[in-house]
Amino acid sequence: MVLPREEVLAGTISEYAAFEELLRSLDAKQWTAPTRCAGWTVADVAAHVTGTIADIAEGRFAELAAPDGTERQAAERRGRSAEEVADELHERAKIAVDIGAAFDDAAWIGPAPAGLPGTLGEGVEALWYDTFVHADDIRAAIGRKPQSGPGVRAAVSHVTDILTQQGQQPATVALDGMPEFAVSGGGGQKITGDAYAFVLAATGRGDLGAFGLDDSFNIHR
């Protein structure tokens, strides 16, 4: 179940602003550093995040949902500097903020546009999650410390939603400092521990075994 509308909208706006600040802090060497996203540099990761919000701002939902969407977003921006990509992110995020301000409760629980899966609210929460996780990918690539913050809560919420959609066995996710999240209706195994580490593990970036889980809990399996 998606987090409250006001929390998600405010959190997503804040996450994009932090992502822009991160990009503007990078030097040329950091911009080309390899990341834990196979085959992608920091520049490619930044291009994907920026390309996603650009697609939304321009109403390119079919392209966004296409199987090659992430690679297209990266390819379209190859050769640009960190400052140029940050400038685009800034402009496109402003448009998206204006769009988000028009959402009411009925729209929030209604379908996502252009046949994208889930509700509109789930789609916006996925943007928050994606930006948070990819910011962590960049920090890991350049040797900076992780910054958890409110994005961890959005990431846990999104991951548990995806696990439910994938038909995962029922489980209760009860991580440190978090409310409980239900997978496939809840019950079943109770998953405890550090929320940030759980997000990394459930997205193929960490050790699921540390939580007593197998690879079926990797949402990208």
102 in the same domain as 32: yes
Q: Are 186 and 139 in contact (CB under 8 A)?
A: no
Beta bridge partners of 31: none
List the pLDDT tens digit at each of the 221 positions of the chain: 789 999 999 999 999 999 999 999 999 999 999 999 999 999 999 999 999 999 999 988 889 888 899 999 999 999 999 999 999 999 999 888 888 878 888 988 999 876 777 899 999 999 999 999 999 999 999 999 999 899 999 999 999 999 999 999 999 999 999 999 999 999 999 999 999 999 999 999 999 999 999 999 999 98
Q: Is residue 186 included in any domain, yes or no?
A: yes
Beta strands 189-191; 171-173: pairing state: parallel
136 in the same domain as 203: no
115 in the same domain as 188: no
Alpha helices in 35-119 (DSSP H): 42-57, 61-65, 69-76, 82-101, 105-109
How high is the pLDDT of residue 1?
A: 72
DSSP state of 79: T
32 in the same domain as 96: yes
168 in the same domain as 98: no
131 in the same domain as 188: no
How high is the pLDDT of residue 65?
A: 87
56 in the same domain as 130: yes
Q: What CA dihedral angle connects 54, 124, 145 and 209, to 10 degrees?
A: -120
* The pTM of the whole model exceeds 0.85: yes
Q: Is residue 203 included in any domain, yes or no?
A: yes
Q: Is residue 192 included in any domain, yes or no?
A: yes
How high is the pLDDT of residue 220?
A: 93
pLDDT tens for 64-113 read 888 899 999 999 999 999 999 999 999 999 888 888 878 888 988 999 87
155 in the same domain as 137: no
57 in the same domain as 137: yes
How high is the pLDDT of residue 97?
A: 82
| CATH (domain of 197) | 3.30.1050
How high is the pLDDT of residue 104?
A: 87
106 in the same domain as 24: yes
How high is the pLDDT of residue 156?
A: 98
Last residue of a domain, one of 99, 118, 141: 141
b/e map 178-203, b = 16+ CB within 10 Å: beebbbbebeeeebeebbbbbbbbbb
Measured in whole angstroms, the distance separating CA 109 from the mean position of its chain's CA atoms is 19
110 in the same domain as 23: yes
106 in the same domain as 13: yes
Domain hosting 177: range is: 151-217
